[in-house]
Amino acid sequence: MAAESNVEWDVAIVGSGFAGALIANDLGKRRKKVILLEAGEGIPPNINDYMRRFYSASAKVPESPYTPEIFDAAGRLRDPSTVKAGRPTVLSLAGHNWKDPKQGYLIQKGPRPFGSTYDRIAGGTSHWLGTCLRFVPADFRMKEKYPSVPQFVDWPIEYKDLATTEKSARRTPYYDEAEKELGVSANVEDQQYLGIDFPANYKYPMPKIPESFIDRQVAAALKAVTPDETNFLEMGKPVTEIPVRSLPAARNSQPYRNRRACAGNTNCIPICPIQAKYDPTITLNDATNTGFVKLMHRTVAREILVGTDGRVSGIRFTRYESDASPNTETDVIRAKIYVIAANAIETARLLLMSKNGGRTPNGVANRSDLVGRHLMDHPYYVAWGLAPKPLYPYRGPLITSGIGDLCDGQFRAKRAAFRVDIGNDGWNFLVGGTGGDPNVTTFDFVNGTNNSRLNSASPKEALLGDRLVGRLNDVFTRQFRVGFLVEQTPDRDNRVTLSESRDGLGLPRPEISYNISDYTRQGIVAAHRMRNLLFKKMGIEDKTEIPKNDPARFEEQIDGKLVTLTFMGAGHIMGTCRMGDDPKSSVVDKFQRSHDHRNLYLVGSSTFPTGGTANPTLTIAALSFRTADHILEENLK
């Protein structure tokens, strides 16, 4: 029996990603005994093993630096049924095999693929980009502002609950606290739009990351546009300029908390090689250094136990040594308060697995039958092409600026909003399958192939020496990419359930049903029109290609033409345990506490009622501080 199970902890937390790490550290600093259960590996002493795995990976996808290994000894994708803490990967979603349970950890039932992935290690999704946007105020009040869209609901909180001290238990607003802890680089004046405001004299922890040359060229192209060109945006007023703003990022623009400044390696995903980007292992180390927080890694929560009084009484877990080891240890952790801080898929899975011998037949915290429902992402529409003059990509962080002023307007009554990302990474992940550029294009011009669609001469060019260098310098410097994060409606039938397929511990794997609504499709259509405007203004030669076997592709009539579109996952897994005031129509309350069990909290983006267009991480962090305050005030005085 594990020694930890003989202790009654103040708080037991499942998951050590952003929400779990922040809450554990906050409680530990206030001398509360906290135990963290992490399904995967623990905090590494350094990132050397991650870097070694990344450098040697044949496919440098977002998950490649992290455990468990993607491939088996024979070079095949590992069978998820043999992995004790499984995870989805980009490679498991490739082509026509995306529904194969021997290829993908998620059991995909369609009709569209759920394209986002995640890691299960200490620190959670460390392969994030680092973008730290605040939600715009309208994102919290979508039913109130746009009642014609039946799927929308309002959050039980407003922007001011996170952005002011009016309802905060701290002297610092929760958004401000989150920006400080994560170390966000930004300028306030760039972020004041669409109702986003800040306390008087507020400054971000660090100045913004400088704009790239590409950012400046996009800004110049959109400096002057005509109402006729921008009518499709339906903003409710003439649009004659589309501002390009720097993006707030948890990436150091100068040394901060003993971490160095960004060196522009263009490798934020999957791993910053110099750790200039924040990841939750930083906060986890701070938490364990308090002396009040303990991390148990390779520890999989398998059931939430509920007593006859309706309160959670324990979490049953299994520990393992390795995927190859048959030896496991099952025990129960007991605490006063329980926090489930896995991502939106794994949190729903754990709740649904928790049957309590039939006393909670629909799972824990699920009297509303809403656990697992309203799964969301930001469907990501990407386009790319060649500029007439050099833009010099592959320098700086992956993304330094974007377009956010188009994220709210009267158009949201009938189609989704989108946010624009301006890529500094050329065609990095877009061509030639999983290899990506610059490798694919280089091989094309060395070997006389055309996987990049840039070696289109007849016969194909196979070059050496100065001719090869000159040709590559020409095409690489002109590569351009733009991405659109599209708002998704919280649809009831987009959901996580339990599959009959099992993982390496014999637990049911997550089964995913997923589609995009017509409202969201029309947001992608508007994004395509924005792509056309931008390419026209910059003189970009379109090179976007959608494979015929892409399971996310669909067709739409746009300006009299049948256009093929597609989307991919943004890595922003939201919904499945939505928050609200009414227990019949939500899973948790405004403090992320279960309506059904008063000592159970479900935290992270699983509680988001709507997703807007902003990356969810900063709002996850702000809500985590708010929940930590509530735990202390209501339960651990």
pLDDT band at 1 (very low <50, low <70, confident <90, very high): very low
Q: Are residues 105 and 69 in the same domain?
A: yes
Rounded average pLDDT over 614-626: 98
Mean pLDDT within 253-279:
94
In the chain, the number of structural domains is: 2
Q: What is the mean pLDDT of residues 533-546?
A: 97
pLDDT > 70 fraction of the chain, expressed in percent and rounded: 98
Within this chain, do residues 553 and 453 fall inside the same structural domain, yes or no?
yes
Neighbours of 564 (CB within 10 A): 13
- Segment 548-553 shows an average pLDDT of 92
Q: Is residue 63 predicted with pLDDT exceeding 80?
A: yes
Q: Are residues 471 and 545 in the same domain?
A: yes
For residues 214 and 233, state if they share a domain.
yes
CA dist 372 and 511 (Å) reads 10
Q: What is the mean pLDDT of residues 85-102?
A: 89
Q: Mean pLDDT over all residues of the chain?
A: 95
Q: How far apart are CA 358 and CA 353, in angstroms?
A: 11
Query: Which whole number is the average pLDDT over 65-75?
Result: 92
Name every residue whose Cβ is closer than 8 Å to that of residue 128 and which is 6 or more positions away in sequence: 269, 279, 571, 617
Q: What is the pLDDT of residue 52?
A: 95
Kindly state the average pLDDT of the residues 316-340. Answer: 93
Residues 216 and 234 in one domain: yes
Which contiguous run of DSSP H or E holds residue 476? helix 465-476
pLDDT confidence band for 610 (50 / 70 / 90): very high
What is the CATH number for 365?
3.50.50.60
Q: Please check whether residue 74 lies inside any domain of the structure.
A: yes
Q: Say whether both 361 and 382 belong to one domain.
A: no
**pLDDT score, position 434:** 58
CA distances from 97 to 36, 107, 429, 511, 550 (A): 36, 11, 20, 16, 11
3-class DSSP state of 141: strand
Distance CA 75, CA 73 (A): 5
Average pLDDT over residues 617-628: 98
Same domain, 383 and 371: no
* Domain ranges, residue 86: 3-130+294-376+491-515+574-634
Burial class (CB within 10 angstroms; exposed 0-12, middle 13-18, buried 19+) of 473: exposed
Tell me the sheet residues that pair with 403: 420
**Per-residue model confidence (pLDDT) at position 73:** 87
- Does the residue 404 lie in any domain? yes
C-alpha distances in angstroms, 163 versus 154, 158, 322, 580? 17, 9, 44, 19
Q: List CB contacts of 40: < 8 A, sequence separation 6 or more.
A: 67, 68, 85, 119, 120, 121, 122, 297, 298
* 353 and 332 fall within a common domain: yes
Could you tell me if 477 and 619 lie in one domain?
Answer: no
- Helix (H, G, I), strand (E, B), or coil: what is residue 556? strand
Strands 418-423 and 245-246: unpaired
End-to-end CA distance of the chain: 31
For 376-421, how does the pLDDT look when each residue is reduced to its tens digit (9 = 90+)? 999 999 999 999 999 999 999 999 999 999 999 999 999 999 999 9
Q: Is 610 among the domain residues?
A: yes
CB burial of residue 212 (10 Å; 0-12, 13-18, 19+) = buried
396 and 534 in a single domain? The answer is yes
Q: What is the pLDDT of residues 351-384, one digit of tens each?
A: 999 999 999 999 999 999 999 999 999 999 999 9
pLDDT in tens, 121-177: 999 988 999 999 999 999 999 999 999 999 999 999 999 999 998 766 677 899 999
Give me the pLDDT at residue 464, please. Answer: 95
Whether pLDDT at 242 is above 90:
yes
Quick one: 91 and 28 in the same domain?
yes
Q: For residues 624 and 607, is the Cβ–Cβ distance under 8 A?
A: no
